[in-house]
Amino acid sequence: MKRINWTAYAQSLAAPLLAVGVGLLVGAIAIWAVGGSVGTTYAEMWKGAFGSFYFTASTLTRATPIILTALGVSLAFRAGFFNLGAEGQMVFGALAAALAALYVPGPGPVKMLAAVAAGMLAGGLWSLLAGWLDTRFRMNLLITTLLLNYIAVYTAGYLVAFPLKEKGGTGGAQTAMLDNSAWLPKLFAGTTLHAGFIVAIAAAVLLALFLTFTTKGYEIRMLGSNPLFAAYGGVKRGQLMLVSMLLSGALAGLAGTFEVLGTQYRYIDNMLTSPGYAWSGIMATLLAGSNPIGSVLAAILLAALQTGGMGVERNTEVPLEISSVIQSSLILFVSARITFSFIKRRKARAANGNAA
Amino acid sequence: MLLQMEGITKRYGSLIANDRVDFSLQEGEVHALVGENGAGKSTLMRILYGEEQPSEGRIIVGGRERVFATPSDAIAAGIGMVHQHFMLFPSFTVAENIVIGREPKAGVKFDRKAAAEHVKTLSEKFGMPVDPWAKVADCPVGVQQRIEILKVLNQGAKIIILDEPTGALTPLEVEWLLKAIKRLAKQGISFILISHKLNEVLGSADRITVLRDGKVIGSVKASDTDAAALSRMMVGRELAKFERKPVVPGEAILTVDNVTVLGDRGTKPLLDRVSLTVRAGEIVGIAGVSGNGQSELLQVVSGLRRVHSGKVTLGGKDVTGLSAGEFRRAGLAHIPEDRYLWGSAKEESVADNAIMGHLASLSKGGILRKRLIREKVARWIDAFRVKTGSLETKAKHLSGGNMQKLIVAREMAHGTPFVIAAEPTRGVDIGAMETIHEALLKRRDEGGAILLVSSELSEILKLSDRILVLYEGRVAGELSAGDATEEKISFLMAGGSGNETH
Amino acid sequence: MGTLLDWSLLSATLWKVAPLLLAALAGALCARVGIFNVALEGMMLIGAFTAILGNDLFGNVALAVLFACFCVGLVSLLFAYLTIGLQANAIVVGMAINFLANGLTAFLLYAIFGVKGQYRDSTMSGLPQWHIPVIQDIPVVGELLSGHTPLVYLAFVLVAVLQFVLFRTVIGFRLLAVGENPAAAKSLGLKIRGYQYGAVVFGGVLCGLAGAQLSLGQVTLFTENMTAGRGFIALVATMLGQSNPLGVMASSLLFGFLDTVSTRLQGSSIPTHFTMMFPYVMTIVVMLFFKDKTYLRQSGRLDGK
């Protein structure tokens, strides 16, 4: 029983690699169609993502909020709840974190901790609201989480455009700058990579361990796999749903918090929505099949495609949107992942039939 | 010969479901196909109806060899099938259900009036009265079956396959159906009757073919055989005589007191003032035609459904309105009626499926004790001879019988004073059935209280110390093991009053 | 800005509702064959883009609309193949299609028109407005019913057509049967996949029309992500309308009206953030009051992974 099943490992690696291959192939067609050189474009993409220490660090910086969101979404998906509200949860988390860091008195670390707590709480509560609407009023979670995104984004936009706008600031809709004692430390001088990345990796490991080794993790997996089985075994769906939605939103809130504490040092309207961190996080989750460690890799891949895309735009005629095309074809391909087993099964069946 | 199936073999991987099976049918004949679960009856009929392709063999209908790639091909060749689980559209009317596939048209419109009239003539012609405008969801099971048969007749079927047609019927409905089959046979319709109820088969079939392990064991005239001979052919050996040790029941473990559960739309109650007690050291069997409140009763005594009034106590504790988890903590183990719907998570590992409900003893401070889990689960698997690749194999790769054994192993391992055994042996082979029955009886002998719900009367009669019959959500009567006979239970199941038998 | 409530508000509702209604009808058709189509949003977006593209290519609005329908039809065929043919999870595939729509339209916007964010060509003509003789001269009624684009009228005609097809014709009857009990339909020899493919692809065509109305009807431009969640509101309309064309029309009218009110509120003293938020808030409020009893609620859950 201890023997390692190498073919199984190879298979579990083959599928994502194949998906990446298909994504790059579609990308190549798109590049070719707009008259770009496929080789040059992909070379620029690689350079833009990992071409130097600085670019690699930027890619990982971009991956940080994506990883955290992806973890939150993975947790909800694992429990069987289609939480598509990461964007709103992240926005409220970031705004709450900025406010806490601005207005909680005390030394830097206190401000920082208050910001993290406020960010996670705000994201978690916003997510919990959708969970509560489901358990209490049986409202479709997928839809409510989506709609709540718009409400959060517009509310936060209003708040930073008017009541919370930086006093006397010349900028647009944004809060005042945080005191630099509350800034997250950079991991390497001269790069954008901040300590949030370490936390994100640690969170992924913790989540993976939590799902595999704890009783609550077990209950969440069973609830997602077969809710009736879980109910039969004494798992409380309502309670567990609220817990997993709270945690899921808290992780998205943490993602927003780190963008405030580690990158922008203030809350700026659209700082999270324009780069589409939350949606990238959901994509990473889909790519990784809700596996926490896989989500980290998928998030880094997506971040690399995005920073790489910027490099492409800087240095070639091909637009940045090429990465969106590659990303979405990746997802589409992976979403049909049962395909392989299905085709295999069908072939097997045919083989049986022909055995006569 | 109207139909001949010659040398039909069906393989699924290494498993042989049908092994060179020959089967034939004459015009106007009622030919019964009997055998244990898993003997290959359903596979053979699915092949005949075009739902499966044979690996080898040929099908000849009316002298011509046919290949049925889909049910449509079989229907076109005059073969119709009434499935065990009816293939009806509950929100459609009776007429719509019967004419579907050959709807009368007025231009592009579906002429529902013409359909109703057509159904009316059809039902008169074959002596099967139905109301064309009624909604199928509102029809009793017996009528739904009539609708199925009319649908098949409307498709022009000359051969009708009836798969376990009496499973969900009341005895009166069964009687009516068997008469109707004979009458239709006189009108030239041929029937293939799949059943494991030997008395019904002997009373209505002309010829009986017995399948065992995918092979034909024999084909005999109904007039030349009897139930004992048939069951020997089916099982291949004499069934072990079975002795129940007398046990004096102890204190009440489960009491259900005057419990009422209302329907979703405030229609008639699903459970109507039900009271029952299960004491230590006894097996209480619940019999009844399915759909008379068994599922609801099971959900009530396992904490999966709220009661509207009444009280449930378990192990002396009032558990009314508590969650399934609280029920389990109060001392419940539960073999659920549907192993896939309630009893397992197909996508998860065997180990994960095995530890549901055991978390308290297999964890410490919220952390699962993986080594202990491996040891325990391996022991349960050995004890019940569950065949699995490893503990990490996904549950969906286990066969139905092995999945059931795993569930029984898991639930018996709780060692709780109270056990619900709902359809504990549905769809398992004879060996597994004996293992499961032994485990239940052993628990009873050790002082366990067991509530057995089964649609197999033979199982109820074999295991129960007392038998309660549910009819339309009420307890229609109670019989002791000594008094109970199949006839008495059937009478109660059909809604007969319990007073004179008690 | 005048009073908040007047006849022009209702008239505006009619043309606001058209894209929503068309998409919601698409959702209803899919729901009727048992498919929860969360890709309405992306399909509408692709429809909006390809309508502009078609207009640019052919210089003809009618051809542009057909081109949009064709392109979205192709996308819906992909959706159908993955969910029906390969039995992949419809929600996951739907989300993936939405991502694809976003990425692809943004990419093509730059690749073809060389712009980012928004494309508008002032020489390009949008959908015509039909002024119905006689009716347009009747006060109130004329203002209400006349002067809309053909797609607005088509949307309402389609409600009637679908209502008729689903509940009066043989093909509709069989389609309902497929959705109600696929196993039974299959055992009758009905080609369930055929009906499912048909419903999804026809739904795609409807989304193409919805997109065309968005980009050519109300304005003549394309903006990245211009559907702004309308596809999901359409999904809510589908659910609230119990997947009945008439019910879907009623719920779409409600949402269209709310959308119009929110537009009307812009320019008032209320900050635009709140007027923009209004339709989404109201959608949630409406969901709270009108419970969805259909099986669609269940489909919002992920089964397995």
- The model's pLDDT over B272-305, given as tens digits with 9 standing for 90+, comes to 999 999 999 999 999 987 778 899 999 999 998 8
Greater confidence, B195 or B363? Answer: B363
- B-contacting chains (≥3 CB pairs under 8 Å): A, C
Q: What is the pLDDT of residue C5?
A: 59
pLDDT band at B499 (very low <50, low <70, confident <90, very high): very low
Assigned domain for B245 exists = no
Give the pLDDT score at A350.
38
**Tens of pLDDT along B191-229?**
999 887 777 888 889 999 999 888 999 899 988 988 888
In this prediction, residues C201-226 reach a mean pLDDT of 92
- The answer to whether residues B431 and B377 belong to one domain is no
The conformational region for residue A289 under phi > 0 = left, psi -120 to 50 = alpha, else beta, is left
Residues ≥6 apart with Cβ < 8 Å to B180: B127, B128, B146, B149
CB–CB of B342 and A236 under 8 A?
Answer: no
* Sign of the torsion formed by the C-alpha atoms of C216, C218, C224 and C229: negative
Residue numbers in A near B416 (CB within 8 A): none
Asked if residue A67 lies in contact with residue C286, where contact means CB atoms within 8 angstroms, the answer is no
Total structural domains within chain B: 3
CA dihedral C6, C11, C17, C19 (to 10 degrees): -140
Given a cut of 60, is residue C305 above it in pLDDT? no
- The pLDDT of residue A83 is 93
In a domain, B271, yes or no: yes
B218 CB-near residues (< 8 Å, 6+ apart) = B209, B210, B233
**Which amino acid is it at B482?**
G
Please tell me which residue of chain C has the smallest CA distance to B80.
C188
DSSP summary character for residue A174? B
In-domain check, residue B394: yes
Residues B351 and B483 in one domain: no
Let me know: does B289 contact B170? Beta carbons within 8 Å: yes
The order of strands in the sheet holding B15-25 is B15-25, B3-12, B56-61, B64-66
Are B19 and B118 part of one and the same domain?
A: yes
The closest CB to that of A229, out of B55, B345, B366, belongs to B345
Over pLDDT 90: what percentage of chain B?
54
10 Å CB burial of residue B442 (0-12, 13-18, 19+) is exposed
Nearest Cα to Cα of residue A287 among A88, A66, A131: A66
Is the pLDDT at B13 greater than 80? The verdict is no
What's the gap in Å between the CA of B52 and the closest CA on chain C? Answer: 12
ipTM, two decimals, is: 0.86
- Bridge partners for C54 per DSSP: none
Instruction: Give the whole-angstrom CA distance, residue C305 versus residue A166.
Output: 44
Residue C244 to residues A138, A298, C24, C27, Cα–Cα distance (Å): 21, 41, 10, 10
For tokens 């008169």, name the residue.
Answer: B124
Element (H, E) at C223: strand C221-223
Q: Give the one of A227, A321, A328 whose C-beta lies nearest to C110's C-beta.
A: A321
Look up tokens 């054994």; give the residue.
B405
- Asked whether residue B19 is assigned to any structural domain, the reply reads yes
Give the number of beta-carbon pairs within 8 Å between B and C. Answer: 54
Strand order from edge to edge, sheet including B332-335? B332-335, B418-422, B449-453, B282-287, B466-471, B474-480
Cβ neighbours around B13 below 10 Å, total: 10
Q: How far apart are CA C49 and CA C222, in angstroms?
A: 6
Nearest to A225 among B329, B348, B391 (CB): B348
Q: Which residues of chain A make contact with C96, given a CB cutoff of 8 A?
A: 286, 328, 331-332, 334-335
Chain A residues touching residue B295 (CB < 8 angstroms): none
Using CB atoms, pick whichever of C38, C91, C96 lies closest to residue A331: C96
**Tens of pLDDT, residues A275-299:** 999 999 999 998 888 899 999 999 9
Q: List B109's β-bridge partners, or say none.
A: B106, C169
- The top-scoring range by mean pLDDT among B35-44, B323-332, B427-436 is B323-332
More confident of the two residues C97 and B264: C97
How far apart CA C146 and CA C135 sit, in angstroms, is 7
Residues of chain B with Cβ-Cβ distance to A228 below 8 Å are 341-342
Q: Is-contact B430 B36, C-beta < 8 A?
A: yes
> Which of C161, C166, C170 best probes binding to B when mutated, by most B CB atoms within 10 angstroms?
C170
Chain A nearest CA to B382, separation (Å): 16
Distances (CA, A) of A302 to A308, A325, C95: 10, 12, 16
The nearest CA of chain A is from the CA of B106 a distance in Å of 41
- DSSP codes joined into one string, C11-22: HHHHHHHHHHHH
* Res. B230: pLDDT tops 70: yes
* Residue A165 falls in which region: left (phi positive, over 0), alpha (psi -120 to 50) or beta: beta
Most confident of A179-193, A241-255, C86-100: A241-255
Can you tell me the mean pLDDT for A148-155? 95
- Please report residues of A whose CB lies closer than 8 A to that of B343: 229, 232
Q: Is B343 on the interface with A (CB under 8 A)?
A: yes
Dihedral of CA B66/B71/B74/B75: which sign? negative
B368 chain-A contacts, CB cut-off 8 A: 213-215, 218
Q: Do C86 and A332 touch (CB under 8 A)?
A: no
Subunit contact C116:A319, Cβ cutoff 8 A: yes
For B179, the 3-state DSSP assignment is helix
Cβ atoms C79, C205 nearer than 8 A: no
Mean pLDDT, residues A193-206: 96
Question: Domain C7-298 maps to which CATH number in 3.40.190.10, 3.60.9.10, 1.10.3470.10, 3.40.50.300?
Answer: 1.10.3470.10
Token pair in block for residue A37:
């050189």
Element (H, E) at C92: helix C90-113
Residue B240 has pLDDT above 80, yes or no: no
Asked if C177 lies within 8 A of B347 by C-beta distance, the reply is no
* Average pLDDT taken over every residue of chain A: 88
Question: Which among C103, C239, C274 has the least Cβ separation from residue A328?
Answer: C103
Nearest Cα of chain C lies from the Cα of A107 at a distance, in angstroms, of 35
- B105 and C170 in contact by Cβ < 8 A? yes
pLDDT of residue A127: 97
A103-137: per-residue pLDDT in tens?
999 899 999 999 999 999 999 999 999 999 998 88
**Mean of per-residue pLDDT scores for chain B:** 88
Q: Is B345 on the interface with A (CB under 8 A)?
A: yes
Query: CB B110 to CB C168 under 8 A?
Result: yes
Q: How sure is the predictor about B152, in pLDDT bands with cuts at 50, 70 and 90? A: very high
Give the whole-angstrom CA distance, residue B298 versus residue C102.
50
Q: Is the pLDDT of residue B493 over 60?
A: yes
Nearest to B87 among C187, C304, C305 (CB): C187
Is B297 in the same domain as B443?
yes
Residues C168-197 pLDDT 10s: 999 999 999 999 998 889 888 888 999 999
Best A4, A138, A232, A344 member to test B by mutation, with max B CBs in 10 Å, is A232
- Sign (positive/negative) of CA torsion A163, A168, A172, A174? negative
Residues of C in contact with A283 (CB under 8 A): 99
Which of chain C's residues have a Cβ under 8 Å away from the Cβ of B101?
188-190
Judged by DSSP in three states, A110 sits in helix
The structural domain count of chain A equals: 1
* CA A174/CA A102 separation, integer angstroms: 13
Select from C177, C190, C304 the Cβ nearest to the Cβ of B347: C304
Q: Tokens 């692709």 belong to which residue?
A: C46
Q: Which of B75, B81, B110 sits opposite C170 (nearest CB)?
A: B110
Q: Do A331 and C304 touch (CB under 8 A)?
A: no
Q: Are C86 and A339 in contact (CB under 8 A)?
A: yes
Q: Do both B497 and B430 map to the same domain?
A: yes
pLDDT at position A7 over 80: no
**What DSSP element (H or E) covers B44?**
helix B41-48
Q: Rounded to an integer, what distance in angstroms lies between the CA atom of residue C297 and that of residue C243?
A: 12
Q: A214 and B367 in contact by Cβ < 8 A? A: yes
Is residue C116 over pLDDT 60? yes
Cβ-Cβ contacts under 8 Å, C172 against chain B? 110
Q: What is B428-466 written as a DSSP string?
A: --HHHHHHHHHHHHHHHHTT-EEEEE-S-HHHHHHH-SE
Alpha helices in chain A (DSSP H): 6-33, 38-50, 53-78, 86-103, 108-137, 141-161, 196-213, 215-225, 227-232, 237-258, 277-288, 292-315, 322-335, 338-354
Q: Is B52 in contact with B10 (CB distance < 8 Å)?
A: yes
From B345's Cα to the closest Cα of chain C, the distance in A is 9
CB contact under 8 A, C116 and A339: no
Beta carbons of B346 and A352 less than 8 Å apart? no
Q: Binning pLDDT at 50, 70 and 90, where does residue B501 land?
A: very low
Question: Token pair of B294, please?
Answer: 């068994």
Rounded to whole angstroms, the Cα distance separating C63 from C45 reads 18
Task: Check pLDDT > 50 for residue A347.
Answer: no
Q: How far is B174 from chain A (nearest CA, A)?
A: 34
Greater confidence (B167 vs C1) lies with B167
**Same domain? B355 vs B304:** no
Residue C300: band (very low, low, confident or very high) from pLDDT cuts 50, 70, 90? very low
pTM: 0.86
> CB-CB: which of C100, C116, C232 is closest to A329?
C100
Place of tokens 């002429």: B111
> Is pLDDT at C232 greater than 80 in this prediction?
yes
Please give the Cα distance from B431 to B245 (Å, whole number). Answer: 22
In Å, how far is B290's CA from the nearest CA of chain A? 21
User: Which of B377, B394, B415 corresponds to the end of one domain?
Assistant: B415
CATH of the domain at A191: 1.10.3470
Tell me the domain boundaries of chain C.
Answer: 7-298
pLDDT > 90? residue C123: no
What pLDDT is stored for residue B500 in this prediction? 42
Give yes or no for a contact between B435 and B383, defined as CB atoms under 8 angstroms apart: no
**Among partner residues C172, C181, C189, which is closest to B72 by beta-carbon distance?**
C189
- Domain span at B324: 252-331+416-501
Q: Which residues of A touch B325 (CB under 8 A)?
A: 234-236
Token pair of B347 as six digits = 């996508």
Q: Is the CB of B109 less than 8 angstroms away from the CB of C168?
A: yes
Which residue range(s) make up the domain with A286?
6-350
The answer to the question of residue A355 being in a domain is no
> Is residue C196 within 8 Å of residue C34, measured between CB atoms?
yes
Cα–Cα dist B164/B196, whole Å: 8
Q: Please give the Cα distance from B88 to B83 (Å, whole number).
A: 10
CB contact under 8 A, C301 and A77: no
**Closest CB from A77, A162, A322 relative to C302:** A77
Instruction: Work out the burial of residue C290: count CB atoms within 10 Å of its CB; fewer than 13 is exposed, 13-18 middle, 19 or more buried.
Output: middle
Q: pLDDT at residue C264 above 90?
A: no
Locate the chain B residue with the closest alpha carbon to A222. B345
Identify the domain boundary among B175, B209, B235.
B235
Contacts of C183 in chain B (CB under 8 A): 87
Q: Does B124 lie at the interface with A, CB-CB under 8 angstroms? A: no
User: What residues of chain C lie within 8 A of the CB of A158, using their CB?
Assistant: 271, 273-274
**Residue C91 above 50 pLDDT?**
yes
Query: From residue B54, how far is each of A312, A343, A351, B94, B191 by CA, in Å?
Result: 58, 21, 13, 34, 21
Q: What is the CATH number of the domain that holds B427?
A: 3.40.50.300
CA–CA min distance B146, chain C (Å): 16
What's the pLDDT at A4?
Answer: 54
Identify the closest residue of chain C to A322 by CA–CA distance: C107
